[in-house]
């Protein structure tokens, strides 16, 4: 007899998170690191900007010369972006300067070209001998000082930081060609059941196509993991064992299987896990997704999710995704939740329930939610039209129109906002 433990969702998740490790680091080219989690601090080895430069096209000068505009200054040279100034600025003189060009010695400010008598972007005029300055500036105006963004030696990013396009820009600016990031979890995905066909096969009597394997591969990829398909395990212990062995040889960090973990006569996954792993079989007080197996197979963390497609996906959302995110080094493990006002009454059996729901923005700026349809655990259609899982807390059996519940947002379509 399989030992079955009854756990709340929170207890199950806490057990799971305690059992999965944060993976080791690997070095990757910085340009391929978007979405990854830093595993090392990044220290700036250069000032950013590396030199004082102009923030405008205009004239570099001494601010003191602009105290009583208009003032005419002698133009002694020019400096373009990428060049070095060849002249100094002294009292009564100015150097034409382009955005990003180094500030000449002696200058302490820039006056934008719009505030001079020079025709805006009139290249044909060439360098004038004199320029009329029509405004006052203070020392430092329109100058970007060296190190003004980031000073050399500063630790700009800490381990655990998620690299977004902004961080990629920073790494590029600092010349950081490679970064250490947490490895992406390699996840072996096994579907089980004699009823399953491959996706390309025509339907035959009594058979259905394997959707779980693909749903889970997509969920793994979306959570930053690398899916490693282990195919369809037939309802024999030998076949399931062979496929798990293939996963071990592929170096998986985590196994995910679907079906075969309830107490049916043909639930061979249960038998295999019991013989070669340390696995707990849990009755999670959750709907959908009650049966859940979690533990280790040959030392590798293992999730045995339910077979019904929606149960499998909701269980992954609640347990698999946070575990994968932890393994990948993330510290934010939960999807965002919103308080939503029910527009339809909902019922539960007292288990923590996750209803497929559509969350919408209301006229007063809040959010409303309604179930998307039949909540049967095989009903994919109501998952496809949902953008959230509406959470009915444990112990609550009824929620009325106007009640406020939490919605776990699966998706943030622009039209919601």
Rule CB under 6 A: say whether 259 interacts with ligand AMP: yes
The answer for residues whose C-beta is within 8 angstroms of residue 205's C-beta and 6 or more apart is none
Least distance CB 207 / Mg ion (angstroms): 12
CB atoms inside a 10 Å sphere around CB 148: 14
Least distance CB 258 / ligand AMP (angstroms): 5
Least distance CB 259 / Mg ion (angstroms): 4
Contact range with ligand AMP by CB under 6 A, out of 70-78, 139-147, 257-265, 392-400: 257-265
DSSP 143-187: EE-TTSSB-TT-EEE-TT-B--HHHHHHHHHTT--EEEEEPPPEE
**E strand or H helix at 314, and its extent?**
helix 309-315
Binding-site residue total for ligand AMP (CB under 6 A)?
A: 18
Q: Closest residue (Cβ) to ligand AMP?
A: 307
**295 Rama sector, left if φ>0, alpha if ψ -120 to 50, beta otherwise:** left
Three-state SS at 110: strand
Q: Which is nearer to ligand AMP, 259 or 359 (CB)?
A: 259
Contact range with ligand AMP by CB under 6 A, out of 208-216, 272-280, 367-375, 400-408: 208-216
d(CA 2, CA 187): 26
Q: Which is nearer to ligand AMP, 210 or 315 (CB)?
A: 210
CB atoms inside a 10 Å sphere around CB 311: 24
Q: Which of 308, 375, 382, 387 binds ligand AMP (CB under 6 A)?
A: 308
**E strand or H helix at 60, and its extent?**
strand 58-61
Contact range with ligand AMP by CB under 6 A, out of 36-44, 112-120, 130-138, 207-215: 207-215
Q: Which of 53, 66, 262, 387 binds ligand AMP (CB under 6 A)?
A: 262
Least distance CB 275 / ligand AMP (angstroms): 19
Q: Which of 79, 95, 113, 259 binds Mg ion (CB under 5 A)?
A: 259
Rule CB under 6 A: say whether 193 interacts with ligand AMP: yes
The answer for residues whose C-beta is within 8 angstroms of residue 325's C-beta and 6 or more apart is 223, 224, 332, 333
Q: Which is nearer to Mg ion, 188 or 193 (CB)?
A: 193
Q: Which of 257, 258, 315, 368 binds ligand AMP (CB under 6 A)?
A: 258
d(CA 39, CA 27): 9
Strand 226-233 vs strand 186-192: parallel, antiparallel, or unpaired? parallel
d(CA 187, CA 388): 25
Q: Which of 53, 71, 176, 210 binds ligand AMP (CB under 6 A)?
A: 210
Q: Note the residues at the interface with Mg ion (CB under 5 A).
A: 193, 259
Q: Note the residues at the interface with ligand AMP (CB under 6 A).
A: 191, 193, 195-196, 208, 210-213, 258-260, 262, 264, 306-309
């Amino acid at each position: 007899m399989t030992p079955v433990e009854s756990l709340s969702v929170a207890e199950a998740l806490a057990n799971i998170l305690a059992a999965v490790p944060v993976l080791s680091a690997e070095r990757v080219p910085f340009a391929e690191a978007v979405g990854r989690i830093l595993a090392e601090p990044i220290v700036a080895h250069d000032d950013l900007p590396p030199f004082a430069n102009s923030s405008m096209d205009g004239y570099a000068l001494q601010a003191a010369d602009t105290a009583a505009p208009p003032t005419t200054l002698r133009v002694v040279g020019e400096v373009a972006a990428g060049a070095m100034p060849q002249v100094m600025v002294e009292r009564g003189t100015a150097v034409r300067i382009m955005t990003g060009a180094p500030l000449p010695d002696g200058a302490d400010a820039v006056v934008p070209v719009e505030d001079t008598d020079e025709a805006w972007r009139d290249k044909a005029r060439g360098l004038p001998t004199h320029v009329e300055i029509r405004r006052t500036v203070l020392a430092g105006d329109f100058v970007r000082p060296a190190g003004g963004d980031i000073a050399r030696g500063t630790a700009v990013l800490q381990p655990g930081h998620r690299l977004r396009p902004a961080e990629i820009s920073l790494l590029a600016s600092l010349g950081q060609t490679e970064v250490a990031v947490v490895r992406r979890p390699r996840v072996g995905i096994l579907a089980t059941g004699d009823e399953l066909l491959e996706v390309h096969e025509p339907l035959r009597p009594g058979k259905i196509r394997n959707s779980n394997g693909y749903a889970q591969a997509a969920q793994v990829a979306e959570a930053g993991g690398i899916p490693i398909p282990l195919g369809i395990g037939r309802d024999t212990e030998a076949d399931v064992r062979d496929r798990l062995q293939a996963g071990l040889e592929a170096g998986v960090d985590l196994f995910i299987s679907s079906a075969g973990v309830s107490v049916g006569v043909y639930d061979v996954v249960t038998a295999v896990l019991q013989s070669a792993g340390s696995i707990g079989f849990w009755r999670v007080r959750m709907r959908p997704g009650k049966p859940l197996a979690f533990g280790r197979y040959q030392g590798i963390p293992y999730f045995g999710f339910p077979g019904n497609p929606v149960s499998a996906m909701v269980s992954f959302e609640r347990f698999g995704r946070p575990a994968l995110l932890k393994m990948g080094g993330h510290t934010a493990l939960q999807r965002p939740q919103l308080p939503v006002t029910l527009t339809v009454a909902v019922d539960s059996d007292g288990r923590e329930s996750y209803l497929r729901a559509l969350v919408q923005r209301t006229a007063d700026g809040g959010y409303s939610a309604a179930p998307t349809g039949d909540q049967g655990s095989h009903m994919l259609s109501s998952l496809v039209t949902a953008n959230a899982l509406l959470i009915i807390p444990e112990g609550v059996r009824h929620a009325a129109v106007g009640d406020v519940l939490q919605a776990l947002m699966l998706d943030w379509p622009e039209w919601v906002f």
